[in-house]
């Protein structure tokens, strides 16, 4: 038993279930609805309100080969190109072939997509897609509509939901099988403070970790809780170095922190141009798809051009859309820009890249199983192999949907039922950093592991993060004035620190440029040495890194397999046979 847990009070209350789903985006709610429909007692636990996760913020849409002349094979090709040699082809094939029907089932659940005059689903383009295949809703409010439909379905199915609940750690039985989770609820009455949901199947659908950076499109709940929990439970995570920076986020001024308004790629899909202050379209000549190149290329180009021009942002010019199109097609973005004093109908929008999506996450197989028996991961928190080194635009809602259905099918086939499994307490506790460290972590990560990375910047970031980790360890357990009181802020910062350490370790090890991992000191892609995944495990002593061949991605092998056990120091990268 290698499990590590957060310093927290013992659970004071408990709920029994067959399945607990943590997270309430498209991945979590789809899994929960399917499990409940099959007769399993299902509990949904979510950090804020049911509709507060990342799904609600998705603008552009959901990609699927739904249009005339489009095929899953073409969608596969575009996804593999964006993934820069690291996609697991079987996972992508699953996504693109099961995707169209999964979208139709979502429509059956009550989601309304925008349609053309003849009643067919309206499709747009985004970066990296050679076809119009992005279905959207409410113009640019696709996630909000999907979230609305799923929350309504969950309410009509009368699912047991626990809101305002931060998940803490995995519970396991004596054999190391999943037995539920501990969580902290800011509630009243029966479920308040630290408690437990006992269940033989746990599905983590907690979303991303954008809050490790100063500026992000992610909501404040995206603090890497699921990945951190999985690491403490001994599960493997993979590809964490591949953080996708969205090229066009409304620039709110240097040093602005937290969630920033997204300006969807669909705006470029409909013909907006990226220009510098003089009005020059700098993407022309850089890539055959110009503004619609894969988003890592566009994010890099914006960053480079800004450096060249000695500024911090570029502009997105869509004045030629006119007021009617702006209002009909992009009402959310129009309102967000106007709220910040920019009128896109009459002026170009200042834009800059910001952290957007974790292409890596908890390593799973095609059924969403992680390396810990009974623990599943779905959506942004998971690394199914679909995204490789860079996620193709609008593939994430689809991934959440398709793999949620697969996970539910797997759990239903296993028919786990809440039993009287003895739950064992993990012996090792993880030190709690001070809640004030949150801003420090974000600054370290933005400076050292942002769009531009180098061996030096990553080494400095690693050192600074290890300092924070060491001081947390020194201070934990002391009763002095610096002692950190366990609580939501401290647990969130512990999660941010852990995932940042892993991200930086992986980014420092990957000595090449690939997909959304851009090393200025290693500008070339190195297929011979680095067409590999970096898989990380946490032990009480160290972070353990190993490299795997891409073909080895699919079937998940049990944690503690021989190649992992051999590595016991921090950051070795033994090669998988």
> 251 or 530, CB closer to ligand SIN?
251
Structure tokens at 139: 């113009």
SS3 283: coil
Stretch that binds ligand SIN, among 94-102, 146-154, 263-271, 443-451 (CB under 6 A): 263-271
| Cα–Cα distance, 426 to 165 (Å, whole number) | 21
Binding positions for ligand SIN, 338-367, rule CB under 6 A:
357
Among residues 55, 206, 238, 264, which is the contact residue for ligand SIN, using CB under 6 A?
264
Binding positions for ligand SIN, 506-535, rule CB under 6 A:
none
Q: How far is the CB of 60 from ligand SIN (least distance, A)?
A: 3
| Cα–Cα distance, 487 to 504 (Å, whole number) | 26
Name the nearest CA neighbour of 395 among 141, 61, 143, 123: 61
Question: Could you say whether residue 567 binds ligand SIN (CB under 6 A)?
Answer: no
Stretch that binds ligand SIN, among 315-323, 391-399, 407-415, 470-478 (CB under 6 A): 391-399
> 371 or 394, CB closer to ligand SIN?
394
> 358 or 393, CB closer to ligand SIN?
393
> 19 or 351, CB closer to ligand SIN?
351
Stretch that binds ligand SIN, among 70-78, 85-93, 199-207, 392-400 (CB under 6 A): 392-400
> 266 or 306, CB closer to ligand SIN?
266
Q: How far is the CB of 104 from ligand SIN (least distance, A)?
A: 20
Beta carbons of 261 and 340 less than 8 angstroms apart: yes
Alpha helices in 348-423 (DSSP H): 396-414
Question: Could you say whether residue 169 binds ligand SIN (CB under 6 A)?
Answer: no
Stretch that binds ligand SIN, among 157-165, 258-266, 407-415, 484-492 (CB under 6 A): 258-266
**Count of residues touching ligand SIN (by CB under 6 A):** 9
Question: Could you say whether residue 94 binds ligand SIN (CB under 6 A)?
Answer: no
| Cα–Cα distance, 237 to 228 (Å, whole number) | 9
Question: Could you say whether residue 59 binds ligand SIN (CB under 6 A)?
Answer: yes
Question: Could you say whether residue 266 binds ligand SIN (CB under 6 A)?
Answer: yes
Question: Could you say whether residue 60 binds ligand SIN (CB under 6 A)?
Answer: yes
> 42 or 54, CB closer to ligand SIN?
54
Q: Which long-range contacts (CB under 8 A, 24 or more apart) does 153-157 make?
A: 153/29, 153/33, 153/109, 153/110, 154/24, 154/29, 154/32, 154/33, 154/44, 154/50, 157/33, 157/36, 157/37
> 77 or 526, CB closer to ligand SIN?
77
Structure tokens at 232: 């403490």
| Cα–Cα distance, 150 to 137 (Å, whole number) | 14
Structure tokens at 277: 């202050």
Radius of gyration of the chain (CA): 22
| Cα–Cα distance, 395 to 238 (Å, whole number) | 18
Q: How far is the CB of 464 from ligand SIN (least distance, A)?
A: 29
Nearest residue to ligand SIN on Cβ basis = 60
Question: Could you say whether residue 393 binds ligand SIN (CB under 6 A)?
Answer: yes
Residue with tokens 């980014």: 507
- Residue 308 CB contacts under 8 Å (≥ 6 apart), including other chains: none
Q: How far is the CB of 357 from ligand SIN (least distance, A)?
A: 6
Question: Could you say whether residue 394 binds ligand SIN (CB under 6 A)?
Answer: yes
> 40 or 266, CB closer to ligand SIN?
266
> 140 or 492, CB closer to ligand SIN?
140
Question: Could you say whether residue 396 binds ligand SIN (CB under 6 A)?
Answer: yes
> 268 or 519, CB closer to ligand SIN?
268
Q: In what order do the strands lie in the sheet with 543-549?
A: 382-383, 361-363, 237-238, 532-538, 543-549
Q: How far is the CB of 41 from ligand SIN (least distance, A)?
A: 34
Burial 36-63 (b: 16+ CB within 10 A, else e): bebebbbbbbbbbebbbbbbbbbbbbbb
Q: How far is the CB of 452 from ligand SIN (least distance, A)?
A: 21
| Cα–Cα distance, 244 to 450 (Å, whole number) | 10
For the residues of 415-433, what is the DSSP string, one character each?
------PPPB--SEEEPPP
Structure tokens at 478: 């002391």
The dihedral through the CA atoms of 139, 143, 148, 154 has a sign that is positive
Q: How far is the CB of 386 from ligand SIN (least distance, A)?
A: 12
Question: Could you say whether residue 375 binds ligand SIN (CB under 6 A)?
Answer: no
Question: Could you say whether residue 212 binds ligand SIN (CB under 6 A)?
Answer: no
Q: What is the dihedral of CA 202, 387, 234, 420, to 10 degrees?
A: 10
Question: Could you say whether residue 305 binds ligand SIN (CB under 6 A)?
Answer: no
DSSP 521: T
Stretch that binds ligand SIN, among 221-229, 261-269, 346-354, 527-535 (CB under 6 A): 261-269
The dihedral through the CA atoms of 499, 501, 506, 507 has a sign that is positive
Name the nearest CA neighbour of 105 among 353, 403, 401: 401
Question: Could you say whether residue 265 binds ligand SIN (CB under 6 A)?
Answer: yes
> 232 or 356, CB closer to ligand SIN?
356
Beta carbons of 374 and 201 less than 8 angstroms apart: yes
Residues involved in catalysis: 295
Q: How far is the CB of 380 from ligand SIN (least distance, A)?
A: 10
Question: Could you say whether residue 500 binds ligand SIN (CB under 6 A)?
Answer: no
The dihedral through the CA atoms of 365, 368, 371, 377 has a sign that is positive
Question: Could you say whether residue 222 binds ligand SIN (CB under 6 A)?
Answer: no
Stretch that binds ligand SIN, among 8-16, 229-237, 260-268, 339-347 (CB under 6 A): 260-268
Q: How far is the CB of 547 from ligand SIN (least distance, A)?
A: 28
Stretch that binds ligand SIN, among 108-116, 264-272, 358-366, 512-520 (CB under 6 A): 264-272
Strand 178-185 relative to strand 165-172, pairing = antiparallel
Residues contributing to the site for ligand SIN (CB under 6 A): 59-60, 264-266, 357, 393-394, 396
């Amino acid at each position: 038993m290698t499990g590590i847990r957060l310093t927290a009070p013992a659970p004071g209350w408990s709920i029994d279930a067959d399945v607990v789903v943590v997270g309430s985006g498209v991945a979590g709610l789809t899994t929960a609805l399917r499990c409940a429909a099959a007769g399993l007692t299902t509990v949904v636990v979510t950090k804020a309100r049911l509709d507060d996760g990342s799904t609600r913020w998705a603008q552009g849409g959901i990609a699927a080969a739904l249009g005339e002349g489009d095929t899953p094979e073409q969608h596969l090709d575009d996804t593999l190109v964006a993934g820069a040699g690291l996609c697991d082809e079987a996972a992508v094939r699953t996504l693109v072939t099961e995707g169209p029907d999964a979208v139709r089932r979502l429509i059956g659940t009550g989601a309304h997509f925008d349609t053309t005059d003849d009643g067919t689903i309206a499709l747009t383009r985004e970066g990296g897609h050679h076809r119009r295949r992005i279905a959207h809703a409410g113009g640019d409010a696709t996630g909000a509509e999907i979230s609305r439909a799923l929350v309504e379905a969950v309410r009509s199915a009368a699912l047991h939901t626990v809101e305002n609940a931060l998940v803490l750690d995995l519970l396991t039985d004596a054999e190391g099988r999943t037995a539920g989770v501990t969580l902290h609820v800011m509630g009243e009455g029966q479920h308040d403070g630290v408690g437990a949901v006992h269940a033989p199947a746990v599905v983590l659908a907690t979303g991303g970790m954008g809050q490790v950076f100063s500026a992000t499109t992610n909501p404040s709940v995206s603090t890497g809780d699921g990945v951190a929990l999985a690491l403490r439970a001994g599960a493997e995570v993979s590809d964490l170095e591949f953080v996708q920076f969205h090229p066009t986020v409304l620039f709110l001024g240097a040093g602005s922190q937290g969630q920033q308004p997204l300006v969807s790629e669909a705006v470029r899909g409909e013909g907006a141009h990226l220009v510098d202050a003089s009005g020059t379209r700098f993407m022309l000549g850089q890539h055959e798809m110009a503004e619609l190149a894969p988003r890592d290329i566009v994010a890099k180009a914006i960053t480079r051009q800004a450096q060249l021009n000695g500024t911090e942002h570029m502009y997105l010019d869509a004045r030629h859309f006119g007021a009617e199109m702006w209002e009909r097609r992009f009402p959310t973005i129009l309102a967000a820009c106007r709220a910040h004093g920019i009128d896109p109908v009459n002026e170009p929008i200042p834009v800059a890249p910001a952290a957007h999506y974790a292409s890596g996450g908890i390593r799973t197989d095609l059924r969403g199983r992680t390396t810990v028996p009974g623990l599943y991961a779905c959506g942004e928190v998971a690394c199914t192999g679909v995204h490789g080194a860079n996620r193709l635009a609008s593939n994430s809602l689809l991934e959440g949907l398709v793999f949620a259905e697969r996970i539910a099918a797997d759990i239903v086939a296993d028919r786990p039922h809440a039993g009287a499994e003895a739950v064992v307490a993990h012996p090792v506790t993880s030190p709690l950093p001070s809640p004030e460290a949150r801003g420090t972590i974000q600054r370290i990560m933005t400076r050292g592991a942002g769009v531009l990375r180098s061996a030096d910047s990553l080494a400095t970031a690693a050192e600074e993060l290890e300092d924070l980790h060491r001081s947390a360890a020194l201070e934990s357990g002391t009763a002095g004035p610096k002692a950190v009181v366990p609580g939501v802020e401290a647990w969130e910062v512990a999660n941010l620190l852990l995932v940042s350490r892993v991200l930086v370790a992986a980014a420092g090890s990957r000595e090449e440029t690939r997909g959304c991992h851009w090393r200025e000191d290693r500008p070339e892609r190195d297929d011979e040495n680095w067409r590999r995944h970096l898989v990380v495990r946490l032990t009480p002593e160290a972070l353990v890194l190993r490299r795997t061949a891409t073909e080895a991605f699919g079937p998940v092998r049990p944690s503690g397999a021989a190649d992992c056990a051999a590595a016991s120091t921090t950051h070795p990268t033994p090669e998988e046979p």
